[in-house]
Chain A
Amino acid sequence: MSAQSAASDKTDPPKSSRTMIWLRSRLSNIAPFITLLFLVVFFSIASPSFATLDNVGNILNQISITAIMAVGLTYVILCAEIDLSVASVANATGIVVAYFTLQDSYANIANVPLPGYAAILLALLTCFLLGGVNAFGVTRIGIPSFIMTLAMLQIGAGICAMLVRGQIAYAVPPFIATLGQKALGPIPYVVIVAATFLLVGHLVLQYTRFGRYVYMVGGNREAAEYSGVNVRLVIASVMIISAACSGVAGMVGVAYFGSAQQNEFDSYLLDAISAVVVGGTSLFGGRGGIGNTIVGLLVLGVLNNGLDHINIDSFLKILIRGLILLAALVINIYAQRLRANQMN
């Protein structure tokens, strides 16, 4: 036995190249982290107002709504699917909760006031229902998730338009208003909600059977199926989880913004996808996790916030964000290829 293991040790590559192999296999995890460090150092030097405790709080506050959405989206992308309806479902859920809340007289909306808990329940029901439709379309009918959720994006926008008819609602149930606007001591509730979602999302992915299935389905769907994993159920579940996360982000977000109106979450679709992908979760599925998403969220948060602290053309900011996303995509694909090569 010992002679055999000694023999197999001999075939190992020398130590230095093993380190390289390790580094290369971790490229998708290391690159976003280095990007984050670089951005923090850069903005700290470029602007004295960036590296302050206040501003760290700002950044966390600014990324919280995206973070809640990105948790569900991480699950979807780990399964090698995509959900383009996250922002739209968030918007619709946020508007539903406001629609069932008594609005002040100046809000010119024909709505149906209900008690707060009922409004919240109906809103949650809405996002589960929309997620369920996504799940049904993808797993039962067999529509590619890219197309299915594109349709759902439009449906969500339609629900928003129908309910508010171009008007703006302001009031939400008190519980939601607290989550979106108040703070527990120095820490805003919205940050606490985001942190909770990230933590639970991480624990479920890493320590439960379902989490393992998510990775396996994304890693090799066929092999998962031939191992007796109910692939359709896993994919349906992640679509619903994604919609549920989006729904909560939408409700809290409406309170955070202080208003519920059409198109107010539009920029969040790109932000949420960027956060997941910039963090290094593989677009081909099976690789990555909530840890990656947190780094991705921080990269985007630092970038958005830092650009406000230095004197830069605000139109150029849009371009810079696009370039960062492109760089992340290049690294994402490149890391995947390195790993594939290593296996042969």
Chain B
Amino acid sequence: MVFGGDRPLLELSGISKSFGGVTALRDVDFTLHAGEIHGLVGENGAGKSTLMKIIAGVHTDYGGTMRIDGEERNFRSARDALKAGIGMVHQELSIVPDLSVAENVFLGSQPVTRFGRVDWRGMNAQAAAHLRSLGIDVDPRVPIGSLPIGLQQMIEISRVLFSGARIIILDEPTSALSPPEIERLFGLLQALRQSGRSMIFISHFLDDILGVSDTVTIFRNGRKIVTAEAAGLRKSFLIEHMIGAGHEDLEESYTSEMMLDSKPDAPVVLETSGLTLGRAFRDVSLTVRAGEVLGIYGFMGSGQLELARALFGKLHPEKGTVAIEGRQVSLKGTAAARRAGMAFVPESRRSMLFSHEPLYKNMSISILGRLHPVLLRPNAEREIAERHVVSLGIRPPRVDQHLGTLSGGNQQKVGLAKWLTYLPKVLVLSEPTRGMDVGAKDDVVKIVRGLRDQGIGIVVVSSEPETVLSLADRILVMRKGEVAREFVSEAVSKDRLLDAA
């Protein structure tokens, strides 16, 4: 499809933006036509999200101009942008799980009867009709939290549409979805395009980008590198431009078959039997050996995230046992789990780091008791932090710097460094590479392999097949809360994993 002729719907020119002296966007031009699906790719920190936040009215002070239908606009808020027909669907859904589907669709603008009461019947009927017109068949009265994630996401998109959006920005919409859900989502996007809506689609999943977009724009280091028609583009072309030259072999390493290499002779460090927790997971029995990485793969909502939390004493299974180095332990809480030799890195940086505290305090929090039972040892804390900063290549290398000023990838390293001073017996990593760029992913893979070689047992839990494939020596696949398959010492590929899940 070519959009050369008509006037663009959205036109940005010379957009620049910096945060406290750090340039996020440099002189970026960007156009979007009616009925276009425009894919955006780039490593973390390349400027995609910043540009989208400018379009959606979240960032209001920037250089350059924005035109909609040829008219210059300068939004003062996200509400302003929405009024002008620009809606954004964030990676973290902004639905209210306990409210019904209809209430979520109408959030903030419920229709009322003559007497000022909410017009339930009208609201439910309108919501159902609106959703049906988009091919979503669901009872508008059920709480939205009870629906699968994929459906929730489609309803959120429909809400943005319902509020009159002509331009819809989708930030990583597919990361939590299963392949059939992704297909349904793409069907919806195609239908929307037919009706003249435009979409901007940000994703790390290059196959998804190429599968649905008309046009693809690649960002690197705050600059727009290239915009090209998606038809005929190859994934290697995208990767090459995302990370610069010289990385042609990377794509292969992430998609080719991997030979698993289990260690059947090493001693077992972690063993669970029959772990069961409500609807989250059932009857999970697994073993992890010293110097081995056990990958646990499953689509979002398959119970693997809850399992990881249970292994660190945050969730409490109602049945089953956990043994560490052959001794049965009771993981009553996270402190007990830590004492038993467990360590955990959660999937979101927000839930593992203290952004207002300096680097060294973030790294020492788990080991304070080892330095001195009662008192603090700030000099020892700083020394330890200095060591980690050097060995992990954290930038900037200043241990008194507040953590919040670091980039995402560096923050992630700090979260890992927390557990590296005194090695745990078992390290549980939840989605260790989610949302990371290729370079940072490589760093994490190296760190995890280094830890494995030092003899600790590692559990990697993820819904991204690439992550599990690049890290694991043995793989469990979870489906709907149960262990569906185990891959031991054999060739395995993304296809086979997806197949098993």
List residues of A whose CB falls within 8 A of some B CB: 4-5, 8, 11-14, 17, 21, 206-213, 215-216, 219-220, 222-233, 286-287, 339, 342-344
Contact = CB atoms under 8 A, between A and B. Distances in A.
B21 A227 contact: no
B369 interface: yes
Contact of B368 (A5, A212, A226, A339): A212
A228 B368 contact: no
Interface in B341-360: 343-346, 350-357
Task: Return the 10 tightest CB-CB contacts between A and B, nearest first.
Answer: A228-B338, A343-B404, A230-B335, A13-B21, A222-B351, A8-B396, A227-B365, A209-B368, A219-B354, A227-B366
A344 B21 CA distance: 12
B356 A343 contact: yes
A26 to B, nearest CB: 13
B395 A343 contact: no
B372 A209 contact: yes
Contacts of B343: 228
Contact of A207 (B22, B344, B375): B375
A207 B378 CA distance: 9
A226 B366 CA distance: 9
B: contact size bracket? 35 or more
Contacts of B345: 226
Residue of B19, B334, B402 with most chain A CB atoms under a 10 A cut-off: B334
Residue of A209, A211, A230, A233 with most chain B CB atoms under a 10 A cut-off: A209
B14 interface: no
A230 B333 contact: yes
B375 A223 contact: no
B375 A208 contact: yes
B494 interface: no
Contacts of A287: 356
Given A209-B369, A343-B356, A225 B376 contact: no
Interface in B327-344: 333-335, 337-339, 343-344
Nearest to B372: A209
B353 A209 contact: no
B282 to A, nearest CB: 25
B405 interface: yes
Contact of B356 (A219, A224, A225, A226): A219
11 contacts: A4-B397, A8-B397, A17-B20, A207-B375, A209-B375, A209-B376, A212-B376, A222-B350, A227-B365, A228-B338, A343-B356
B218 to A, nearest CB: 24
Contact of B361 (A212, A228, A229, A231): A212
Contacts of B350: 220, 222-223
B334 A208 contact: no
Contact of A223 (B312, B333, B353, B396): B353
B354 A223 contact: yes
Given A5-B397, A212-B368, A225-B314, A339 B335 contact: no
B425 interface: no
B17 interface: no
Contacts of B334: 225-231
Contacts of A208: 374-376
Contacts of B21: 11-14, 17
Nearest to B390: A1
B388 interface: no
Contact of A226 (B344, B361, B395, B396): B344
Contacts of A227: 334, 338, 352, 365-366, 418
A206 B314 CA distance: 28
Interface of B: 19-22, 312, 314, 333-335, 337-339, 343-346, 350-357, 361, 365-366, 368-369, 372-376, 395-397, 402, 404-405, 418
Residue of B22, B353, B356, B405 with most chain A CB atoms under a 10 A cut-off: B356
Given A5-B397, A21-B20, A229 B375 contact: no
Given A13-B20, A207-B376, A227-B366, A219 B335 contact: no
A339 B346 contact: no
Given A212-B376, A226-B314, A229-B365, A342 B20 contact: yes
A226 B357 contact: no
B337 A228 contact: yes
Given A209-B374, A223-B351, A228-B343, 16 more contacts: A8-B397, A12-B21, A14-B21, A21-B20, A209-B369, A211-B376, A212-B376, A216-B361, A226-B345, A226-B352, A227-B365, A227-B418, A228-B334, A228-B338, A229-B366, A286-B354
Nearest to A209: B368
Nearest to A225: B334
Contact of B365 (A207, A224, A344): A224
Contacts of A4: 395, 397
Given A228-B337, A343-B404, A286 B356 contact: yes
B369 A219 contact: no
Contacts of A343: 355-356, 402, 404-405
Contacts of B366: 227-229
A313 B405 CA distance: 50
Contacts of A12: 21
A84 to B, nearest CB: 26
Contacts of A224: 354, 365
Contacts of B418: 227
Contacts of A225: 314, 334
A216 B361 CA distance: 9
Nearest to B364: A212
Contacts of B376: 206-209, 211-212
B81 to A, nearest CB: 19
A339 B351 CA distance: 19
A220 B354 contact: yes
B88 to A, nearest CB: 17
